[in-house]
Amino acid sequence: MRLTAETLTLFLLLVPGFVSSAVLNAIVVRQTKGHVGHVIEALVFSFLIYACLTPFFGGSPVNVEVTTVEDRTTFRPTADPAFLISAMGLAILFALVVGASITHDFHMRILRWMRLTYRTARDSTWIDIFIDQRRYVEVAFTDGRRLFGWPLYYSNHPEEGLLYIYDAAWIDGDGKYVDLDAHGILLTKKDDIESIVFTNLKFGQATPRGEHRQAEANGNSMGGKVDGQ
């Protein structure tokens, strides 16, 4: 019975950390961790969670009552519901805060400002660019074709090379735009993308694509700047 109580206590102590790790994996693109890495991350989260809660609740979320009757000792585990609920809530909150910081590069931006590092918090440069540069793109293919549109969805890693272009239009040899009669087009790695140019046009600035919009986009694709920007 004593072993059961100790096991239950250990389990409840570690669960909030694993919950934080699971939530973080669900909202942030990052490298896959091994079993040891998951356990270490869960331990760190659990330590932070209980370090914050212990001053308010004290002790442990699970206590063991020891009862001795006629030389017979029994151990009865009892849980503190308020402590456990608070731990789970804080576990989710921690994961959301850390996830937001990684996604928006908050903490690494501060460290770069302090000249302590030049790295970002995100998993790859591919993710860095598509998150920071929310603009229309011009995709150039190895066969000479060019496609203009809004990068609505993109894969987590450049090796996958998946890119969904919304509000898409082909650019012909004369620089004119031929709109697609579709919601968008999915580009895959086999489409042989040569380069992706991020224009100066932000969302909504390229529709409708009249003659003046075509002229602006043509100038932008050659390194020009859209009037008024």
Kindly state whether residues 136 and 89 are assigned to the same domain.
no
What CATH number does residue 205 fall under?
2.30.30.100
pLDDT in tens, 153-211: 998 888 888 899 999 999 988 888 898 888 999 998 777 888 999 999 888 777 655 44
Among 113-122, 189-198, 216-225, which is the least confidently predicted range?
216-225
Asked if pLDDT for residue 89 goes beyond 60, the answer is yes
Please state the domain count of the chain: 2
Kindly state whether residues 95 and 172 are assigned to the same domain.
no
pLDDT for res 227 = 34
pLDDT for res 6 = 66
Asked if pLDDT for residue 70 goes beyond 80, the answer is no
Kindly state whether residues 6 and 98 are assigned to the same domain.
yes
Rounded CA separation 19/12 (Å): 11
Say if CB 147 and CB 186 are below 8 A apart. Answer: no
Q: Let me know if residue 117 belongs to a domain.
A: no
Q: Let me know if residue 120 belongs to a domain.
A: no
Among 20-34, 40-54, 136-150, 213-227, which is the least confidently predicted range?
213-227
Q: Let me know if residue 116 belongs to a domain.
A: no
Asked if pLDDT for residue 222 goes beyond 50, the answer is no
Kindly state whether residues 50 and 84 are assigned to the same domain.
yes
Q: Which residues contact 202 (CB under 8 A, 6 or more apart)?
A: 134, 135, 136
- Domain with 51 in it: 2-111
In this structure, the number of other CB atoms found within 10 A of the CB of residue 77 comes to: 17
Kindly state whether residues 208 and 148 are assigned to the same domain.
yes
Kindly state whether residues 80 and 36 are assigned to the same domain.
yes
What is the percent of the chain where pLDDT is above 90? 33
Rounded CA separation 161/153 (Å): 11
Domain end position, chosen among 111, 135, 168: 111
Q: Let me know if residue 32 belongs to a domain.
A: yes
pLDDT for res 77 = 65
pLDDT for res 159 = 80
